[in-house]
Amino acid sequence: MDGTKTIHKQLNVHGYILSYIKNTQMEYIKIVSKGNLEYMYFKIQIVFENPLPEFTAVQLKALLLNSVCDLFGEVGRSSVLCDILTYDVDSLQAVIRCPHCEASKFRSAITLCGSYANEYCAIHIIQVSNHLVGLDSNSRTYKHITV
């Protein structure tokens, strides 16, 4: 051996397992998510057959809630909460936050969405993550820069 002493501890804090490893050469903390987090984050894009002149965030929220209501009724609409965190009017892309326990209902409702204001539309789910920062990195759209 090289004479280094290693200390390894594990703590359970609010559903997370914190691993603390320390030796004389390096020290790091590894955080492991255990169980479900409070929210799921969806990156979506709305596609219209005939583009609307302007589709605002308020109209998007109405579209999402009506989709849930169409599939699950008024009781489902009141139980499935969603928040629009970001919305880009030009690309019609949005980041939506939904409670983890209602995420499967929300996902199925927006997938089956077919029209808004008598115009055919579709909601494409681009990415889903338990962490908001996870939506920022996408290896499919990464472009390598050569110098």
Query: What pTM, to 2 d.p., does this model score?
Result: 0.71
Confidence of residue 133 (pLDDT cuts 50, 70, 90): confident
Q: For residue range 80-105, list pLDDT tens digits in order.
A: 899 999 999 999 999 999 999 999 99
Q: What is the pLDDT of residue 1?
A: 47
Q: What is the pLDDT of residue 143?
A: 73
Closest alpha carbon to 106 in 81, 86, 85:
81
Which of the two residues, 26 and 141, has the higher pLDDT score? 141
- What value does the mean pLDDT take over residues 35-40? 83
Which of the two residues, 58 and 32, has the higher pLDDT score? 58
Q: What is the pLDDT of residue 83?
A: 95
d(CA 30, CA 17): 8
Site of tokens 């599939």: 71
Q: Which domains are assigned to the chain? A: 1-35 (no CATH), 39-131 (3.30.70.3250)
CB atoms within 10 A of CB 55: 19
d(CA 51, CA 53): 6
- Per-chain mean pLDDT for the chain: 81
Q: What is the pLDDT of residue 52?
A: 83
Give the angle 86-56-112 at the CA atoms, nearest 5°. 80
